[in-house]
Structure 1
């Protein structure tokens, strides 16, 4: 496709997209004289053309295997989450709501809009809670490079590449035997005066001083590869093992209590060790009347304490801050050249991953209104007297109560998550003739996963255990002595718990074939012929999740509602083409077209046009436009609608609501309820979530414009502007946004989705909720600038290389309801309950010194710009005007002991920088934006590699 003359000009810039160590290679390539020597062609993310260089008209950021090893991370998501273009998706630092998988979220558009590839082919979806690819499958030790295409790629790869593409290129040509043994651990000095003062005020315990080494990990990787059959074939096999030990929130002072929504107190939960109650009467028509609903009752040594004097439970310490995880994977890559026309290949991988997401003990969670007989033996005479004086209930009558009791006697609850994944690719490629090349493959991937939720309160058993007559009739029932101070025993608590089981499987089948080559036509103004790609693809996505009866009916009180079974599938048939047109010797235009026929939504067309122009020697302009789509996944299409939880604030709750009585009336609050609706102590409220079989594909237009330059052989840079505009976004109006918009606008489109219970609550019981099911509802516009600079120079007997990668977010605008300007909001540089903490500017800067001896050292500066707080509740962020800028310093040393042994030691976050604290409504885990900022303090790691 390209002559060696073209290569000599283009390879000079290839180092821009790779590790800084490639800078010298680029300079040498540029100095070579033109020759007729055959140069190997490769395929770079963003196009299926076979190229002799690593540059494309679309911006591609490359992370080399050297950078991966120097990071010290054995969880590949930890490394990629440090790239400025990526926000944290599912990570090991999540517990409540964890899927057990690891996902990538390019640009913050969502993991489902980031297409993940291995050697240019799709990675199958993850598990029972996730439809995004689980990159736990990726063996970090065998990754040759990671290519991040920061623009739409649907024309080349099909749906889901809205934000871009992350392609893991594996070292399929590895030679020899390599074994790596590594370990790592965290260390932190607990000296946060702010949160320690809040815990002192509550009487909570917390750690002080040096934490010692904790959250440790161990990994062992082995890779073997070589040629066979006289060099016709080549095979690489690998095996990896990784074990991460747990770390609970009690290990850090800044996570040892759960901050309130405002962040100015240790909040905790009204589901306490000593139970709290909402008490009410039962009318003749069976309706409930809760007077003073804003006040808890609790217990003291003689009876009820009315009202409670602040009885809450600090549920934070037993929650996982870092989940325990154990993973084993094996795989192989085999290529065999029968002849130049027929080169079959095989890729296989198998992975088993087991993790446990532990959270605080279960509780009754004010989930159900229990009718209790006044004459129940569970009550004392003093309590009966109080019921009479406070509520007017007398002998022979019943009263009603919501109970908030934490199951500390039964221990923490946990979700035991297991994923077993298999991926097989079988294909063949080769030359048709001197100008044409083909590649065809069959791919099958499956993820079998399960979740066993243990030690959660089983709702029907609670109902029986507080009903003295029903309990007496059940020989297995132990009365729940919830009205007696410290009356609940471990035995009675254990009899009230249950287990819920989910089993799921995703299956992805892909059949792809394409040809590419030069056409026998060259424009008179150009020196290279036109080139074309023609191909077709069939893909089928299947997902089935089976809930046992416990999950299906929502019988576990700590689940927030039912978890329904899901079963569904869709298929898509596609044809695609790319065309490369050299207009001038220094100007090439590329175009692409793909037609997709979905079994669920019909036909969709995506297309692209791109150009790169060598303005002068060593300087290139590039531009591209892509129409991208994302098809709704099986869960979005077929999930039954069910009750769940959202984190945030009900602005009409509390004794002093944020909104006026008139505004709250729009949301269904009566005059009598205003100021008497209890806020959820855990900042969690009910919502109905679920799928929609009528969903259509999302549509996005992506624009890029960039300049690539290499002023000298040792210095190169790129600067790229990008813009992503989306329509028909699949999702739901955020529950809190729905409540606020209903209150301020009174619009039926919002208010019809706010359903308060009879007491005005959105969290007590299950009859109050916000409707938040999936629809094609909205638009988004993201735009920004990416910068990359590489430089190297000789110093003494060694070399210093520097690399800067930065990203500036200009706009991150959500258009929640098309046509409603009041619903628009911009998250660039902001943090709120609707905005992830996305800085305007974020970068990594690395300086490496390589001696001419056996050692090298590097330092990396990771920088997160400050973000402004948009809201009124979080007092921490109000005081500081948001989250201040964060800087982290990483130091590494690499030592080649001999020809067979290498040692790497390093410290990430050398200065032990704490993550910024946020209030309960903004925290993803442990009062932090977990997994985005450095979460646990200083990280020390070391590894030894043996290669033969």
Structure 2
């Protein structure tokens, strides 16, 4: 059986429709072009030449387009494929290719980017892409048609930070299932980074930029050197680059609702049902965790006022009726988190790359490519919000303010008299205790410093054999990503408990820790009363956090393609067969305290796992009719791949379809594909990971008389009954309750693969017979992707709704409520939720892509210069997920991050060494998540945010000696992002910073020298 699996041959469908941006073709230097002119050898109905240029390491005259392994001089495309050329990348001024790709409406909001990862416990600053809103793990990123090692432990997501943009010839974006050609993970499609192959010369470039607010200073410096040798049979290229994208602070930006410098919320209005004020911020909405602390003793709450004196009322946001000890009105005594938070984390990159090939003979061409990248990222968020539940290992939250030493009861000398006198014995041990919370400003903000190293090498051989009828390729790849992270601002829970248990030693008169063993270990008594009081004990209590990760990928494979016989006088049937072996491993290890959740961080146990697989694949393209009336060409295609995983066993993927061109100006195409995605290492092996989710408690508002399943299920919890009795007959949750829910999500080694079925149908129009329009290409494609057995973690809100609203007791066991009051948390409030990965989900999305490209030398019509136009538009017809077969649909089409309509237009005009490019991106109106509002996207205008339009521009000046100077700007209209606060924003932000431009107007300038 193993021999069969390793040598399995089958048939495959060539996937890909080429739609290159016209400006991307214009700037390609002759030295970078393929040795043969692809335009001359391919049907005019295809898009501009560079889109169908041979992939790296192919012989001149043979074309391999993303989506197929068959080399042919007349390759065409059967599935939607868009290409972004190097000129378009350069004209964007982007440092990272992610920024260019995200302008394409086929992409959804990235899971990780520079502007939405400041709160990430790992992976901050990584740049990923997400096709069709189906997720990074369903988007396969390739380099020259081959896999690239993941940048995120346990995931398949590639970090685009490590791809040198100057090394690229173009980026192909294939949408629709492509597993039959490339293997697992290509459910949504493929992003294929194509390197230059024949660059000869030296290119130096440098760029600087900053925002109009004087921050976000960006710079990059790059050098590319290439040389052809041995009469063009060989080429070597080397690249070295440095870039740094600067910090942007949240407090220095604005949303449509105003400044983000002060904490605000709109959730309060939403929860109370005051929908009219949903997007009107409540400001300030400060955190109750303040540096001076709060102390809950008996039935009284104490804090320190602005005058530094203790008082027995709190005024988080300036609550009326609270006065300081000196009789003055109490101002806000909460804490403003926004003054600390990063909006965009700084990312510093050192990138090196190389590529070489040498044609020993037509039958043997050797190639080698390598990448190395070091990425440095730092994050800063506000100091830790500590409450007494973190400091008591019994997790009850009571902190004794008396202790017994040698049979004698002592009072904690730090406790103010008012708090001590109000305190009671809440746990029956005969000692007074209190609850408290405070901001650990004494320890400074929470920071992380991350260093990632990525190394990849790929090499092999290809060539033509048997009278050039067959092409072959063999290759091997090894990739590795390592990350080292160090953080600050956390504390040792066990030490904190010992430090709080202190007394005044009568023998010495000194305040010491009560536990002798703790004293011997260096325990320093902790004074938690008042701002700055804890500082002397910080050296004993504070601990660094560490993270070490390693991801490896090993790939070896080979394939043979060629031509068989002809049918009915058409071109010969093309085929490709091959096999591939892949092994992947991943591990991530936090420090021991983080793994146990004993330093205030999420409990994040180590995760490690590996898998391997053997695959066999084949594809065939069969021309049926050519050069006949109404049949300029007609062909059919098919593919199959069989994979044998060490984890899920044998999987099958396939595709089939065809193309018909009634005349050379019009070509119709259709494709049906079955793709698979095997579970990744996190989904299989992840240890239970702690999180602090935002969920809506269905029991809020339930009364003693609320009828039906909801009322009965809620009141079945003793804590809920106690809460109702204590709050005038209605269950009530406070701010600490809303923010104090924890969850644990774990992997599942019994998972199976996902199965995705995609259908695409479209038309390509290139009116070559009309002289004025021969450079116009219009493509319209319908796509429909449905995923079965989708791997999902059951949504926490779904678990709550199923338990309390539907009475499904299976889910109630995943919910824990507090039995009684616990510090600032109310009796009966949500405490903990648990879930795991299951093959229980379903996903569907469908829509229409339209791409129009046009490039015209205006001298042909008596004008001057060259005009290039490109427009790409996606209309999302529908999109939803189903977490479980019996669950209601969770619609995402029309929600924030998945607007119904998106388009990007690009216009360029070049004349006498001067070029101007204008790019406009439009995102239609969007709705809040229906899981929050209960309203299907687009049905309730109260839950919508306005459309957004972004305008970018660049002007270039070129000289005949290879010097180019350019200046440009992004978000020139300085659009303010919609205000979302905590009803749809990225973690810690006031907007969805992964979807909307939150950085504001930015300018850049650069030079590029070629010689």
| Residues 393 and 165 (structure 1), Cα distance of their counterparts in 2 relative to 1, 3 Å cut | closer
Shift of 1:363: 2.8
Contact 2:398 2:823 in 1 (8 A): no
Shift of 1:911: 1.0
Contact 1:648 1:921 in 2 (8 A): no
Partner of 2:12 in structure 1?
none
Provide the alpha-carbon RMSD of the alignment: 3.0
Bigger Cα displacement from structure 2, 92-101 vs 41-50: 92-101
Structure 1-normalised TM-score? 0.87
Contact 2:20 2:85 in 1 (8 A): no
Shift of 1:309: 5.6
Bigger Cα displacement from structure 2, 581-590 vs 650-659: 650-659
| Aligned residue among 259, 262, 265 for 1:257 | 262
Partner of 1:942 in structure 2?
1005
Three-state SS of the structure 2 residue aligned to 1:768 is strand
Q: Does 2:765 correspond to 1:709?
A: yes
Structure 2-normalised TM-score? 0.82
| Aligned residue among 796, 799, 802 for 1:735 | 796
| Residues 637 and 21 (structure 1), Cα distance of their counterparts in 2 relative to 1, 3 Å cut | closer
How far, CA to CA, are the matches of 1:645 and 1:737 in structure 2?
Answer: 16
Shift of 1:432: 1.3
Shift of 1:663: 6.0
How far, CA to CA, are the matches of 1:748 and 1:854 in structure 2?
Answer: 72
How far, CA to CA, are the matches of 1:872 and 1:331 in structure 2?
Answer: 46
Three-state SS of the structure 1 residue aligned to 2:73 is coil
Partner of 1:769 in structure 2?
832
Partner of 1:929 in structure 2?
992
Partner of 1:191 in structure 2?
none
Partner of 2:645 in structure 1?
598
Q: Does 2:129 correspond to 1:104?
A: yes
How far, CA to CA, are the matches of 2:373 and 2:685 in structure 1?
Answer: 27
Three-state SS of the structure 2 residue aligned to 1:745 is coil
| Residues 924 and 322 (structure 1), Cα distance of their counterparts in 2 relative to 1, 3 Å cut | same
Bigger Cα displacement from structure 2, 798-807 vs 463-472: 463-472
Contact 2:42 2:75 in 1 (8 A): no
1:541-575 Cα shifts (integer Å, max 9, x gaps): 11122232122211221x23x21112211001000
Contact 1:863 1:888 in 2 (8 A): yes
| Residues 862 and 683 (structure 1), Cα distance of their counterparts in 2 relative to 1, 3 Å cut | farther
Shift of 1:362: 1.4
Three-state SS of the structure 2 residue aligned to 1:338 is strand
1:354-397 Cα shifts (integer Å, max 9, x gaps): 10121111131454314313532221222222225xx7899x93
Partner of 1:577 in structure 2?
618
Equivalent positions of 1:468-867 (< 5 A) are 468-469=502-503, 471-472=513-514, 473=516, 474=519, 476-482=522-528, 484-486=529-531, 488-519=533-564, 521-524=565-568, 526-557=569-600, 559-560=601-602, 562-585=603-626, 586-652=633-699, 661-662=711-712, 664-665=714-715, 670-674=720-724, 675-680=731-736, 683=739, 685-711=741-767, 712-759=773-820, 768-793=831-856, 794=858, 796-820=863-887, 823-831=888-896, 837-851=897-911, 853-867=912-926
| Residues 747 and 599 (structure 1), Cα distance of their counterparts in 2 relative to 1, 3 Å cut | same
1:381-429 Cα shifts (integer Å, max 9, x gaps): 22222225xx7899x9334444321112221111222110100001000
Contact 1:654 1:678 in 2 (8 A): no
1:317-355 Cα shifts (integer Å, max 9, x gaps): 211111112110111101011111111110111111110
| Aligned residue among 306, 309, 312 for 1:305 | 312
How far, CA to CA, are the matches of 2:716 and 2:823 in structure 1?
Answer: 14
Three-state SS of the structure 2 residue aligned to 1:912 is coil
Partner of 2:95 in structure 1?
74
Three-state SS of the structure 1 residue aligned to 2:339 is coil
How far, CA to CA, are the matches of 1:67 and 1:503 in structure 2?
Answer: 37
| Residues 131 and 686 (structure 1), Cα distance of their counterparts in 2 relative to 1, 3 Å cut | farther
Equivalent positions of 1:212-223 (< 5 A) are 213-223=214-224
How far, CA to CA, are the matches of 1:278 and 1:921 in structure 2?
Answer: 30
| Residues 735 and 353 (structure 1), Cα distance of their counterparts in 2 relative to 1, 3 Å cut | same
How far, CA to CA, are the matches of 2:790 and 2:456 in structure 1?
Answer: 30
Three-state SS of the structure 2 residue aligned to 1:409 is helix
| Residues 611 and 467 (structure 1), Cα distance of their counterparts in 2 relative to 1, 3 Å cut | same
Three-state SS of the structure 2 residue aligned to 1:419 is strand
1:789-815 Cα shifts (integer Å, max 9, x gaps): 112342721122211011111111111
Bigger Cα displacement from structure 2, 915-924 vs 214-223: 915-924
Partner of 2:364 in structure 1?
342
| Residues 759 and 785 (structure 1), Cα distance of their counterparts in 2 relative to 1, 3 Å cut | farther
| Residues 309 and 884 (structure 1), Cα distance of their counterparts in 2 relative to 1, 3 Å cut | closer
Contact 2:851 2:873 in 1 (8 A): yes
Shift of 1:26: 9.3
How far, CA to CA, are the matches of 2:24 and 2:991 in structure 1?
Answer: 36
Shift of 1:172: 2.4
How far, CA to CA, are the matches of 1:668 and 1:57 in structure 2?
Answer: 62
| Residues 945 and 656 (structure 1), Cα distance of their counterparts in 2 relative to 1, 3 Å cut | farther
How far, CA to CA, are the matches of 1:696 and 1:785 in structure 2?
Answer: 31
| Aligned residue among 279, 287, 291 for 1:269 | 287
1:710-758 Cα shifts (integer Å, max 9, x gaps): 2330322001111111111112112123223322212124322212232
Equivalent positions of 1:113-124 (< 5 A) are 113-124=138-149
Partner of 2:509 in structure 1?
none
How far, CA to CA, are the matches of 1:883 and 1:667 in structure 2?
Answer: 38
| Aligned residue among 420, 423, 431 for 1:384 | 420
Three-state SS of the structure 2 residue aligned to 1:741 is helix
Partner of 1:332 in structure 2?
354
Three-state SS of the structure 1 residue aligned to 2:721 is coil
Runs of at least 5 residues in structure 2 that lack an aligned partner in the other structure: 1-15, 28-36, 45-58, 269-278, 318-332, 391-396, 403-410, 504-511, 627-632, 725-730, 768-772
| Residues 467 and 920 (structure 1), Cα distance of their counterparts in 2 relative to 1, 3 Å cut | same
Q: Does 2:456 correspond to 1:423?
A: yes
Three-state SS of the structure 2 residue aligned to 1:86 is coil
Partner of 2:506 in structure 1?
none
1:2-22 Cα shifts (integer Å, max 9, x gaps): xxxxxxxxxxx9873343464
Partner of 2:967 in structure 1?
905
Contact 1:731 1:777 in 2 (8 A): yes
How far, CA to CA, are the matches of 1:683 and 1:435 in structure 2?
Answer: 67
Shift of 1:649: 3.5
Q: Does 2:964 correspond to 1:893?
A: no
Shift of 1:650: 3.3
Three-state SS of the structure 2 residue aligned to 1:316 is helix
Bigger Cα displacement from structure 2, 17-26 vs 454-463: 17-26
Contact 2:154 2:680 in 1 (8 A): no
| Aligned residue among 70, 83, 86 for 1:49 | 70
| Residues 145 and 426 (structure 1), Cα distance of their counterparts in 2 relative to 1, 3 Å cut | same
| Residues 689 and 401 (structure 1), Cα distance of their counterparts in 2 relative to 1, 3 Å cut | farther
Contact 1:785 1:808 in 2 (8 A): yes
How far, CA to CA, are the matches of 1:155 and 1:764 in structure 2?
Answer: 53
How far, CA to CA, are the matches of 1:123 and 1:909 in structure 2?
Answer: 32
| Aligned residue among 2, 16, 19 for 1:16 | 19
Contact 2:679 2:753 in 1 (8 A): yes
Bigger Cα displacement from structure 2, 673-682 vs 919-928: 673-682
Shift of 1:131: 4.4
Partner of 2:159 in structure 1?
134
